Structure 1
Amino acid sequence: MKATAQPMAATTTSAEKTRWAVFSDLIKLRLTFLVLVTTFVGFYIGFRGSLNFLLLLHTMLGTALVASGAAALNQLLEREHDSKMRRTEDRPLPSGRMKPRTVLLLGAACGGLGLIYLALMVNLLTSVLGAITLGSYLFVYTPLKRKTTLNTVIGAIPGALPPLMGWTAARDEVTLGGWSLFAILFFWQLPHFFAIAWIYREQYAHAGFMMLPVVDVSGERTGRQAVSNALGLLPVSLAPFVLHLAGPIYLFGAFVLGLAYLWYAIQFSRQLTVPRARQLFFLSILYLPLLLGLMVFDKIK
């Protein structure tokens, strides 16, 4: 009996891991986690006085539902195009692990429940921002990926809204401090995504996505855009200090990180190669958590 039970248990565990992996891919777990991190920072920096942990929990849960729903519905809309790219062909829909109807019901349920939850348990303003994020991501950015190279800039708007949602959850108002967090995320995304698009430009072209590196064969425009947005990020990242949200430790760290990001963007623009794009990508991955960590650490109480 013991010898028979052990393989059965192992098979069950393996199946559970497989289901979890499929679900993680459906909700784009790493992207959703990043959304929650930026939402938390917006809430923490925006909140006055002792932190309201229950309100923070409601904010994070509602935002997680909205982000998960957006990820699932995005994959539903792009399933045919995802099947043409090696980096996305193993997602739940192109691989056949999930059915479109299931993804539609799950994505709509998560997105809708998340917006209702934010409205009831946090505040209406945060729910409205969540609706704008969800709607613009699905019905503006997603279709524009196949029509214009401006999709990356437009897509950076819903991508930058989560920290503003965290801010409004804490204060129930949109103020300059919240917009400064939005601006940081907005400018950070562009060199980050240009680097990704350069690395996978052939796959994007095959799938029919109008990313800038696909039409910019020489790469000059892509390089300029990466540099100009990294340059724009540098002064914007100092705004939390100017607005008395963070102290001098943050100021110094933000300045050094901004210079590093700009330097790697310049190197990418000078040598438009996949290795340089990867360097810029990995630097962007380091930049954001370090900057946000400094902001949280050096928050002016």
Structure 2
Amino acid sequence: MSSTKSSVSTASVVTDFKEITKMGLSLSVVFSSLAGYFLGAETISFTALFLLAIGGYFMVGASNAYNQIIERDLDALMERTKNRPIPAGRMSVNTAFIIATSFTILGLITLYVINPKTAMYGAISIFLYTSVYTPLKTKTSLSVFVGALPGAIPFMLGWVAARDSFGIEPGMLFAIQFFWQFPHFWSIGWFLHEDYKKGGFYMLPTGEPDKGTAVQIIMYSVWTIIVSILPVFGFTGDLKLSIVGAVLVFLLGLVMLNYALRLFKLRSIKAAKQLMLSSVFYITLLQIIYVADKYLKLVL
């Protein structure tokens, strides 16, 4: 009996740890960072890759833990978040704070070992996410704009980790992920609108899931597509994209844009969820295409 309780308790601790650090989201951010590293690397260091993956997870996990500490009372009001470890009473604020601070310190040290610039941008990301974006979510819909800044850092961070410098190339990677976040997060804000209202969050540009919001989603989807194919024109330094790569990225963008237009037409929760999923596929496949495009050109 005691062994059964022990295994259940251990499983619960592991589950709560995954939830407080938002493991799924954190791993997707690590994926972006690694993609950026492969794009920037002139010679691949597996040590740097490992440190970037671990350090990146620490930093994102810390941001998510701080976020859940700050928003614990609001999380308790929403269906989507009321069962998170802190509002559900399974984890104390002190325990979450120990996890968050430990992850911050370990993350900064790990990224600093790669190079100081990588650690600096990681620190900026945590600061903007926890100290600016999180408090603004209950004040103004401009919080999404602010949140897009730390959200756009990971793709760029990988390049900085590889080159120990900031220039047009990581700036371009930053821009791609920056513009992409608007259709992505506004689609989430659309289908979770009623739940967000319970917590007092302002996530949509007009405040409502209406035509105005849908138009802005379309606009930012178009901007995302345009920015994503700019490297094909040859003025983004060492960040290059072949015509074939650009065509593939453009076609991916048209799929996402189609779902954005569909949301404008239907203005339904289902259409918003479809757009959200298509945006996830877009950024993931874009990063794969960029990396494959670089290394296939080297092979061929």
TM-score range relative to shorter protein = over 0.9
Match for 2:226 among 235, 246, 253? Answer: 235
Q: How does 1:286-297 map to 2 (within 5 A)?
A: 286-297=281-292
User: Do structure 1's residue 89 and structure 2's residue 85 form an aligned pair?
Assistant: no
Q: Deviations over 1:240-286 (max 9, x none)?
A: 33335232332121010011111111111222111111111111122
Please report the TM-score for the alignment, with normalisation by the length of structure 2: 0.93
Number of the residue aligned with 2:216 = 225
Q: Root-mean-square deviation (CA), in Å? A: 1.6
CA distance in 1, matches of 2:207, 2:226: 30
1:9, distance to aligned residue in structure 2 (A): 4.9
1:278 pairs with 2:273: yes
Matched, 1:67 2:27: no
2:19 aligned with 1:25, yes or no?
A: yes
Show the counterpart of 2:136: 144
Equivalent of residue 164 in structure 1, options 152, 156, 159:
156
Alpha-carbon offset, residue 214 of structure 1: 7.6
Conserved? CA contact 1:204–1:214, under 8 Å:
no
What is the aligned counterpart of 1:204 among 196, 204, 208? 196
Change in 2 beyond 3 A, CA 1:18/1:249: farther
Pairing 1:36–2:27 present: no
Question: How many percent identity over aligned positions?
Answer: 34
Instruction: Letter of the 1:179 partner, please give it.
Output: G
Q: How does 1:229-268 map to 2 (within 5 A)?
A: 229-242=220-233, 243=236, 244-268=239-263
Aligned to 2:116: 124
Separation in structure 2 between the aligned mates of residue 11 and residue 239 of structure 1, nearest angstrom = 56
Measured after TM superposition, the shift of residue 11 of structure 1 is 4.4
Letter of the structure 1 residue corresponding to residue 28 of structure 2: L
**Match for residue 97 of structure 2 among 104, 116, 140:** 104
Residue segments in structure 1 that go unaligned for 5+ positions in a row: 1-6
Q: Which amino acid aligns with 2:96?
A: V
Give 1:17 deviation, angstroms: 2.0
Q: Give, in whole Å, the separation in 1 of the partners of 2:206 and 2:232.
A: 38
Task: State whether residues 234 and 255 of structure 1, in contact with CA within 8 Å, keep that contact through their aligned partners in structure 2.
Answer: yes
Partners of 1:148 and 1:55 in 2: CA distance: 39
The structural deviation recorded for 1:215 is 2.4
Counterpart-to-counterpart distance in 1, 2:206 and 2:89: 28
Which residue matches 1:4? none
Structure-2 separation of matches of 1:61 and 1:282:
26
| Distance of 1:18 and 1:197 partners within structure 2 | 29
CA distance in 1, matches of 2:23, 2:162: 25
Opposite residue 201 of structure 1, the aligned amino acid is H
Residue identity matched to 1:98: M
Deviating runs (4+, > 6 A) in structure 1? Answer: none
Letter in 2 for 1:89: K
Verify the 8 A CA contact 1:201 1:214 in the aligned structure 2. no
Shift of 1:16: 2.3
Residue 208 of structure 1 and its aligned partner are, at CA, apart by 0.8
Residue 55 in structure 1 maps to residue 31 in structure 2: no
